[in-house]
């Protein structure tokens, strides 16, 4: 039996866009606080990824500058 795809995948940033359009009036204070904690965790994850990419870029630049220098 072949599994059929579930449907089209969300494009880059689509989930974030949908999150920004969500009605926050339906949430209570504790739910909003949980949402903030989850968003802060995602921000930290993004920052860690940026740091990782910048470190890789810096290492590559140092390597190529060393060869050219």
Please state the rounded mean pLDDT for residues 17-35: 96
What pLDDT shows up at residue 59?
86
Is the residue at 56 inside a domain?
yes
Query: pTM here?
Result: 0.68
Read off the pLDDT of residues 33-51 as tens digits, 9 standing for 90 and up.
Answer: 999 999 999 999 999 999 9
Q: Where in the sequence is the domain holding 37, given as residue range(s)? A: 28-68
Could you give the CA distance from residue 53 to residue 21 in angstroms, rounded to a whole number? 30
Is the residue at 14 inside a domain?
no
Q: Which residue has the tokens 């909003």?
A: 32
pLDDT at 1 over 60: no
The number of domains in the chain is 1
What pLDDT shows up at residue 13?
85
Is the residue at 23 inside a domain?
no
Is the residue at 41 inside a domain?
yes
CA angle 43–44–48, rounded 5-degree value: 115
């Amino acid at each position: 039996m072949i599994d059929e795809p579930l449907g089209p995948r969300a494009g880059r940033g689509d989930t974030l866009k949908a999150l920004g359009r969500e009605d926050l009036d339906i949430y209570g204070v504790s739910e909003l606080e949980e949402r903030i904690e989850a968003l802060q965790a995602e921000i930290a994850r993004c920052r860690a990824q940026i740091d990782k990419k910048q470190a890789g870029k810096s290492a590559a630049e140092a390597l190529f500058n060393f060869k050219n220098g």
